[in-house]
Amino acid sequence: MKYLWGLAAGIILAPCLAAAENPPVAQIVPFSVTTHGDVRVDNYHWLRDDRRTAPAVMDYLNAENRYAAQQSQRWQGLTETILQEMSERQSQDNYAQPWQNNDFTYQSTFAQHANYPQLLRQKNGSSRWEKVLDARERSKGHAYYSLSRYAVSEDNRYLAIAEDTRGDGQNQISVLDISRQQWLPQLTKGTSGEVVFSQDGRSLFYVANHPQTLTPYRVMQHWLTGERPDRLVYEEQDDSLYTGIARSASGAYLIITLSGNDTSEVRVLPLNEDNMRPQLIRPRIKGQEYYLDHNNDRFTVRSNHADKNFGIYTFHQPEEAWQSLVAPAPDSEIENFFLFDQWLVVARRAGGQTRLAKLQLASGEWQNLNFPDQSYMVRPGSNSRSGAGVFNYIYSSLAKPLGYYQWDLRSNQTRLVHQKQLPGVDLSRYQSEFVTVVSRDGESIPVSLVYRRDLFHHGKNPLLVYGYGAYGISVDVAFSAPRLSLLDRGFVFAIAHVRGGGEKGIDWYLNGKKNHKQHSINDFNDAAQGLIAQGFGAADRLYAMGGSAGGLLVAAAVNQQPQQFRAVVMQVPFVDVLNTMLDSSLPLTQQEFDEWGNPADAGAWQAIKAWSPYDNLRTQPYPNMLVTSGLYDTRVPYWEAAKYIARLRTVNTRPHPLLLLTTNMQAGHGGSAGRYARLKDSAQAFSFLIYSDNNNNHSSGAPR
């Protein structure tokens, strides 16, 4: 690499401080990168500042924020109206499912209009709820605050919490002596946030992050009394693997899971003994995954060692051979399992949907749980007691708010425990659908849709298409109260379940990763056009939205077919893929090789270069864009979005473009913290899209 300096920081920024009505102009400072004999020149590399302190860079980001604020004054009233609508819906129903810890019941809930939750508990047999923690108090003095995780000791004396005060995912762990309402003096920083107490409650286990890559890599044991220094339990040397910990369903073991994109390895450690070393279950093998839990004196494992769709196996001791419990199926993938004393509940992905079934362990009898909607989201709820006879789950669809249910494993009956309420909202007005669109290579792309019935007019509505398509993740088809502000203005909202996600099983994922990433991009563009052809939107009122890896998807789709979209929103988008994947010093890069490819290999480098959004910006008309980032984002650093917008302005040929970059200077990958603060991000995005739909002066020039 060769950096052509030659310009002082003040000169670099000078053009950025133009009049408010003109967008900032980032100075061109060539930075050459040679890979496999190919020379690329990155004119905006100077916007990268790992310390987030360089005056020229911070001034540029602030100039972009000022410009975005000035431009958005045109629809500020709409933003405020939408934010008010969202806030009113947000505050109506604060129910959260309680969970049991021995002789106490705990519940996380929100006081009315509170931004952060409080944790309450009730002793069994008592009617009085006791306040254990108020995150509102903990958040004071922090511009950003997130209560990432918490855990309670088995004797209910101690509460351990993980807090992020920058948005960078570097959690600090603190411990509260609940009985005395005193915080212990020891503080542990730079952790993943995962915590597990020992059985006697004298110590807790946590995972420390690597200081450079920020990857969770060290399992540590911390004694609450300070009687001993923290003990290193396990350290992972491979930077491509994440280290995670959990308590087994039996409560007997600490489970240490090392997981990468397609490889995993597990160790177990008894939670009732000090100073023992974790025991390896099976050595890692590239391309093989297994995940473990323990109950009823035996281990249960979900593994793909025999079949890509996973099977479930059991054994009593780590050195024993695995016995098959649930055989792999050719038409579905086993995604997860949940252990109970008498039952095994299995979650499968088939036909784009999650299916639940239970196995009675003694009899071998199976029973399925059926759901009423074509397209839906189902997730496990709090199932903290393996001796319970009910399975708690959460169910929703695009047109149905979250419902908290119990499945009685004895009778096979389901019971609605609580249905989220939205007073004043007539939910019967909203229609959800599940359709398919045929891609250019003949694949059937599943699409989930929702719209308001009385505002739907065949072929005339504005259509917003959302996509993700990475890591084998299936996008939840869940209800969103904030989204009603779009639907109530005539928008049709669609989720395109493109290849690269997990909606149609492991092959659907594999055919959208690495050298097959172009399939994801084609699927997104084909889904958008297919929905227009089916009458779900107007050809000149098409919009796109995606975040993180979904931002990559949308940006690449726009590069290849820019004139089909009127406006797009990309939130913390991963757009500078080639440069990021060439830099192993960045957090997550090595873990991502199995998803995008390692550009140290010439073939992988060429494949990434073919679609990497930043590298493929070219002279052509682009639609309106709102691009967001977070200064302390360690997953997708802020400079990716900043460089993207800077270069986009130099190649866009659309007259009067509306290209906005906003950087949250006090947050990271997740955006604003707090449930009301997060609504501001949604209101900003939705009002931008609605304004773009209502005003033709800044349209993308899509065909009419």
| Residue 404 burial (CB count, 10 A) | 19
DSSP 3-state of 400: strand
Q: How far apart are CA 544 and CA 529, in angstroms?
A: 12
Strand order from edge to edge, sheet including 366-369: 333-339, 343-350, 353-360, 366-369
Choosing from 49, 669, 682, 687, the catalytic residue is: 669
**Within 10 A of 380 (CB to CB), how many other CB atoms are there?**
14
Answer positive or negative: Cα dihedral of 247, 250, 253, 257: negative
Give 3-state DSSP helix, strand, coil % of the chain, rounded to 5.
25, 35, 45
Amino acid at 217: Y
Active site residue 548: yes
Contact 693, 543 (CB under 8 A): yes
Phi, psi of 212, rounded to the nearest 5 degrees: -95, -55
Give me the catalytic one of 375, 396, 448, 548: 548
Rounded-to-integer distance, Cα 656 and Cα 661, Å: 16
Which amino acid is present at 441?
A: D
Q: Which residue type, as a one-letter code, is found at position 470?
A: A
Looking only at the bridges linking them, the beta strands covering 253-259 and 264-270 are antiparallel
CA distance 327 to 260: 24
Nearest to 326 by CA among 291, 288, 281, 359: 359
Q: Report d(CA 64, CA 626) in Å as an integer.
A: 12
Rounded distance, CA 76 to CA 152, Å?
A: 44
Specify the residue for token string 């866009």.
Answer: 652
- Active-site annotation holds for 633: yes
Which of 633, 692, 693, 698 is catalytic? The answer is 633
Amino acid (one-letter) located at 77: G
Residue 669 appears among annotated catalytic residues? yes
At position 210, the amino acid (one-letter code) is H
Q: Which residues are catalytic?
A: 548, 633, 669
